[in-house]
Amino acid sequence: MTSRAVPSAAAAGAQPTPLLSLRDVEVTFTTEAGPATAVRGASFDVLPGETVAIVGESGSGKSTTAAAVIGLLAENGRVTGGRIVFDGQELTAQGAGTTSRLRGSDIGLVPQDPMSNLNPVMRVGAQIVEALEDNGVARGAAARTRAVELLEEAGLPDAARRAQQYPHEFSGGMRQRALIAMGLACRPRLLIADEPTSALDVTVQRTILDRLDELTDELGTAVLLITHDLGLAAERADRIVVMYRGEVVETGPALEILRSPQHEYTRRLLAAAPSLASRRIQLAKQHGADTEAAADLVAMTGGHDGPVGATRAAPVADQPVALDVPDHIVEVSHVTKVFSLRGKGLFSRGTDFTAVDDVSFAIPRGTTVAIVGESGSGKSTVARMMLDLLPATSGEIRFDGEPVGGADRAAQVRFRRRVQPIFQDPYASLDPLYTVYRTIEEPLKAHGSGSAAERRDRIHALMADVALPPSLLRRYPAELSGGQRQRVAIARALALDPDLVVCDEAVSALDVIVQSQILHLLAELQHRRGLSYLFISHDLAVVRQIADHVCVMESGRIVEQGAADDVFDHPQQEYTRMLIDAIPGAGLELGLAG
């Protein structure tokens, strides 16, 4: 999908009056250390019916700017400078009362995390009814009927029944549709969508954004889209506003910024966007470049560190393998996992659910095998069985020729030393009460590795490996950024010098710049140490850059597998083609030089 058409008045040459205008806006938060300015001198316009995307990494000020527009800053935050004008009304001068009256009726909001923004003890339909009644749109039976209609508009099947369910009974995509229904319930003139699909699979993301585009086009609603993915912004927006450290550093038409970025930070965002790197590889190969040349091209257009594809591990044939060691470090043969689900009643009979169904694949030494698929496809269950955290119902997993699971205690200890995980959320996988030093030292102590002095030297070497300064060793996870926490998780995983690292959505929660750095680090470590990776992801743009071999899972089964280039260039299954087509920016025409 390409960018939406600009409003007709603009296309005809006349400049329409902006629906929303920010001029030199400053937002300051009161903290214990004194005032902290989060946004400085922000200026941009949103025209009627236009989609404007604000892009930048976490902490750039993009969500704070949107919160200032809609009057939802935290209690310690306030607009301390500049003007915010909506439809001719100066919101900063008229105070919170005016913004509160506009909120919902004239300015809608689709927040980032649907689970934390929906009331878990209220039925979804009742929450939409509440929004309709609070804004005087409809009441009683009329509001309940309208709530069902809004869920239908948002693309929810069987909306009347779904309206009677609770948020936990919805999938992530369904919850996001419910928030879109609420955001558009009062037919606002401006919709603020704050990272509306960042936690969703690419296929669900595309479905949600397509539906949002359709609804806003029908209603003539302007959209302020907040995202860290410049590829997605270029595909969906008419204009882009790039924010960095609280300031607007670049603004202009989406495709113009995509093809000719002027600011160094914008170029870094472009270089880090996995979707755009994937697109450049595709276009280069269409122009006759081989895989290595395509990766080199991405490296040349990739800014400081280059993309991950340029540092992919050397092929197995280039790495020495002892004659008495199997070629494959992991062999998965006809593995099935069945879960028994409880019945709803006390004496009702439960049902069986097959999460993984007859899965087979192998991981050659020193390579990266990726398992991709939508949520619920079974890929994380495979990872947990590979880590011996779940027993397989049937089939066999062999690591270095030995069966996984059911071994004696000594064999389990040896296995855990050689196979280490990196999970999706480093904040959840790191003990909040452990310092960084203790976190990395823990596996070394558990396996009796070295003296205290030797462990200290090892920890400092690992910190250098993951490009973290020793000064962070005394800090706790809460005192680190998301990227720093994930680097600590990688250092912990490497502490015992494992042969296989299982990365379960290890970069999906990170900004594109941090994500690019972590992927580059993983590839570099693989090249230096000869590591093997099992990489679990729903993001094919990332997988294209890092994987040697790809397994595509759907509903518990591997429906396609092969060399990464073969799967991407010549997908055999419709499901695989759908996943590839859903990569943001897949239809954008990029210049090969940028």
Residue 299: per-residue pLDDT? 47
Residue 317: per-residue pLDDT? 36
Residue type for 123, please?
R
Tell me what the mean pLDDT of segment 171-180 comes to: 82
Residue 312: per-residue pLDDT? 44
Q: Which two tokens stand for residue 337?
A: 């996992």
Q: Which of 47-61, 74-88, 154-168, 194-208 has the lowest mean pLDDT?
A: 194-208
Q: What is the pTM of this model?
A: 0.74
- pLDDT above 70 as % of the chain: 84
Residue 336: per-residue pLDDT? 95
Residue 263: per-residue pLDDT? 93
Q: Is residue 41 a contact partner of residue 24, using CB atoms and an 8 Å limit?
A: yes
Confidence check: pLDDT of 19 > 80: yes
Provide the 3-class DSSP secondary structure of residue 349. coil
Q: Cβ atoms within 10 A of the Cβ of 581, count?
A: 15
Mean pLDDT over all residues of the chain?
82
Residue 85: per-residue pLDDT? 93
**DSSP collapsed to 3 states, 147-184:** HHHHHHHCCCCCHHHHCCCCHHHCCHHHHHHHHHHHHC
- pLDDT above 90 as % of the chain: 36
According to CATH, the topology of domain 8-106+189-270 is Rossmann fold (3.40.50)
- The per-type count for the chain, helices as H runs and strands as E runs, is 25, 20
Residue 279: band (very low, low, confident or very high) from pLDDT cuts 50, 70, 90? low
Angle at 591 between CA 203 and CA 228, to 5 degrees: 45
Tell me what the mean pLDDT of segment 108-130 comes to: 87
Would strands 557-563 and 549-554 be described as parallel, antiparallel, or unpaired? antiparallel
- Locate all alpha helices (DSSP H) within 139-273, ordered by sequence: 140-153, 159-162, 172-183, 202-219, 230-236, 254-259, 264-272
Tell me what the mean pLDDT of segment 424-431 comes to: 79
176-208 burial code (b ≥16 CB/10 A, e <16)? bbbbbbbbbbbebbbbbbbbbbbbbbbbbbbbb
List, for residues 300-332, the tens digit of each pLDDT value: 444 434 334 333 433 333 343 333 445 899 999
Q: Which of 175-184, 424-433, 493-502 has the lowest mean pLDDT?
A: 424-433
**DSSP collapsed to 3 states, 280-346:** HHHHHHHCCCCHHHHHHHHHHCCCCCCCHHHHCCCCHHHCCCCCCCCCEEEEEEEEEEEEEECCCCC
Confidence check: pLDDT of 361 > 90: yes
List, for residues 342-352, the tens digit of each pLDDT value: 655 555 566 78
Confidence check: pLDDT of 180 > 90: no
Residue 529: per-residue pLDDT? 85
Place of tokens 């993309």: 307
Place of tokens 């909001």: 109
Return the closest-CA partner of residue 77 out of 64, 60, 62: 64
Q: Which two tokens stand for residue 193?
A: 């969508």
Residues 6+ apart with CB under 8 A from 294: 280, 281, 284, 285, 309
Confidence check: pLDDT of 200 > 90: no
Residue 302: per-residue pLDDT? 46
CATH H superfamily, domain 273-342+352-400+499-582: P-loop containing nucleotide triphosphate hydrolases (3.40.50.300)
Confidence check: pLDDT of 213 > 90: no
List, for residues 23-41, the tens digit of each pLDDT value: 999 999 988 888 989 999 9
Decide which of 342 and 162 is more confident: 162
Tell me what the mean pLDDT of segment 548-577 comes to: 92
Decide which of 242 and 103 is more confident: 242
List, for residues 542-551, the tens digit of each pLDDT value: 888 889 999 9
CATH 3.40.50.300 boundaries in the chain: 8-106+189-270, 273-342+352-400+499-582
Confidence check: pLDDT of 420 > 80: yes
Return the closest-CA partner of residue 17 out of 53, 66, 50, 41: 50
Residue type for 41, please?
G
Residue 42: band (very low, low, confident or very high) from pLDDT cuts 50, 70, 90? very high
Confidence check: pLDDT of 255 > 90: no
What is the distance between the alpha carbons of residues 425 and 374, in angstroms, rounded to a whole number? 18
Decide which of 264 and 292 is more confident: 264
What is the distance between the alpha carbons of residues 52 and 191, in angstroms, rounded to a whole number? 11
Q: How many CA atoms lie within 13 A of 79 on its CB side?
A: 27
List, for residues 441-494, the tens digit of each pLDDT value: 999 998 888 899 999 999 999 998 888 889 999 989 888 877 788 889 989 998
Write out the H or E segment, with its range, that includes residue 455.
helix 452-465
Residue 339: per-residue pLDDT? 86
List, for residues 215-224, the tens digit of each pLDDT value: 888 888 999 9
Residue 308: per-residue pLDDT? 40
